[in-house]
Amino acid sequence: MHPIVTLVAQRVALGVLLLFAASILIFVGTSILPGDVAQSILGQSATPEALANLRAELGMDQPPLTRYFTWLGGVLQGDLGTALTNGRDIAESLGSRLGNTLFLAFWAAVVAVPLAIFLGLLAVRYKDRWPDRLISAVTLTTISIPEFMIGYVLIYWVSIQMGWFSSVAIINDSMSLGQKLNAIAIPVMVLTLVVLAHMMRMTRAAILNVMQSAYIETAELKGLGMLRIIRKHAFPNAIAPIVNVVMLNLAYLVVGVVVVEVVFAYPGMGQYLVDHVSKRDVPVVQACGLIFAAVYIGLNLVADLVSILTNPRLRHPK
């Protein structure tokens, strides 16, 4: 079998195994939370008989192992369960919420990824000069500030003082694309500032590492310009670590938007999760946790596969 096929199969199998392990951790973590689900639903005045009946209805009287495999079997069939607080199907409720989160993450990535790569290339071009120092200082400052603080500062200056965009990111299906983009403009700015530094510095470090290679010195001796050397020789050979860090940050854009969605009241999965955590709606928390884990593991798997496919020693074994 070709080495690249073997490695891809191993990575996919490892991804599935990690997702299975994540499902166990999610179920165990939500099961050992303090408090009683039935008590939180019925209230403190509920009778013992009512509590016992509700626990039996929810399956809480069954052994944990039985409840886990029942839940896992439903997930494998596309059934994420029913929300305890409103009785609605979780998969149906999460459909639009997941779409909103992916919409926000997509536009943040559209802005952040090209900008980070451009700034990384610019920092390499002017290494140890004022553009490099300025880019590094600004990006390190933004990554050091919590997301909610950046969000509140941008709300004050961009929305309140300048009046450019809305401070509340409310979107719905009746809005046009332009209206949706106007609504999510400030959250996109926040997410861009948060992930920009990591991607930019990794791009800079990867290209600088390649620039120390012998073939780069040969290109310089031939009289090629620095921009051409970076564009034609350094950047293509540094693409694997750059793709890895881009995928990790894309995973953060999907999984780590909880704080941003709460700050801007954005109707995404993060806001949905926080609302039901406060109500101790365990099935919703489990479903959201599993979806977040699947997205994170999936994007990391894509990064691994891209790194494998861009390795010429694997594509052309001797």
**pLDDT tens digits along 176-198:** 888 888 888 888 888 888 888 77
Are residues 216 and 290 located together in one domain of the fold? no
Q: How far apart are CA 184 and CA 271, in angstroms?
A: 15
Please check whether residue 204 lies inside any domain of the structure: yes
Q: How far apart are CA 69 and CA 25, in angstroms?
A: 13
What pLDDT was estimated at residue 58? 65
Please check whether residue 40 lies inside any domain of the structure: yes
Residue 284, token pair as written in the block: 């919703």
- Highest averaged pLDDT of the listed ranges 14-23, 40-49, 157-166: 14-23
Please check whether residue 112 lies inside any domain of the structure: yes
Are residues 256 and 152 located together in one domain of the fold? yes
What pLDDT was estimated at residue 39? 63
Looking at the predicted structure, is the pLDDT value of residue 317 above 60? no
Q: What is the mean pLDDT of residues 202-222?
A: 73
**Does residue 47 or residue 37 have the better pLDDT?**
47
Nearest C-alpha neighbor of 295 from the set 106, 110, 19, 11: 19
User: Percentage of the chain surpassing pLDDT 90?
Assistant: 0
Determine the 3-state secondary structure of 103 from DSSP: helix
Please check whether residue 273 lies inside any domain of the structure: yes
Residue 317, token pair as written in the block: 């074994």
| pTM (whole model) above 0.85 | no
Are residues 247 and 286 located together in one domain of the fold? no
Are residues 146 and 40 located together in one domain of the fold? no
Are residues 198 and 143 located together in one domain of the fold? yes
CB 26 within 8 A of CB 294: no
Structural domain count of the chain:
2
Are residues 111 and 244 located together in one domain of the fold? yes
Are residues 214 and 103 located together in one domain of the fold? yes
What pLDDT was estimated at residue 33? 67
Looking at the predicted structure, is the pLDDT value of residue 163 above 60? yes
On the 0-12 / 13-18 / 19+ scale of CB atoms within 10 A, 241 is: middle
What pLDDT was estimated at residue 61? 66
What pLDDT was estimated at residue 298? 85
Q: How far apart are CA 304 and CA 281, in angstroms?
A: 35
CATH number of the domain within which 180 lies: 1.10.3720.10
What pLDDT was estimated at residue 152? 85
Please check whether residue 75 lies inside any domain of the structure: yes
User: Percentage of the chain surpassing pLDDT 70?
Assistant: 84
Residue 278, token pair as written in the block: 């406060």
What pLDDT was estimated at residue 156? 84
Please check whether residue 90 lies inside any domain of the structure: no
What's the chain's Rg over C-alpha atoms? 24
Q: What is the mean pLDDT of residues 263-273?
A: 81
Q: How far apart are CA 144 and CA 227, in angstroms?
A: 31
Are residues 247 and 130 located together in one domain of the fold? yes
Are residues 6 and 119 located together in one domain of the fold? no
Q: How far apart are CA 137 and CA 134, in angstroms?
A: 5
Are residues 298 and 261 located together in one domain of the fold? no
Are residues 242 and 150 located together in one domain of the fold? yes
Annotate the chain with DSSP letters as a single string.
--HHHHHHHHHHHHHHHHHHHHHHHHHHHHHT-SS-HHHHHH-TT--HHHHHHHHHHHTTTS-HHHHHHHHHHHHHTT---B-TTT--BHHHHHHHHHHHHHHHHHHHHHHHHHHHHHHHHHHHHTTTSHHHHHHHHHHHHHHHS-HHHHHHHHIIIIIIIS--S-SS----TTS-HHHHHHHTHHHHHHHHHHHHHHHHHHHHHHHHHHHTSHHHHHHHHTT--HHHHIIIIIHHHTHHHHHHHHHHHHHHHHHS-HHHHHHTT--SHHHHHHHHHHTT-HHHHHHHHHHHHHHHHHHHHHHHHHHHHT-HHHHS--
Q: What is the mean pLDDT of residues 122-126?
A: 79
Structure confidence at residue 311 as a pLDDT band (50, 70, 90): low
Structure confidence at residue 41 as a pLDDT band (50, 70, 90): low
Please check whether residue 91 lies inside any domain of the structure: no
Looking at the predicted structure, is the pLDDT value of residue 1 above 70? no
What is the extent of the structural domain holding 149? Answer: 96-278
Q: How far apart are CA 22 and CA 284, in angstroms?
A: 16
Please check whether residue 314 lies inside any domain of the structure: yes
Are residues 140 and 221 located together in one domain of the fold? yes
Structure confidence at residue 37 as a pLDDT band (50, 70, 90): low
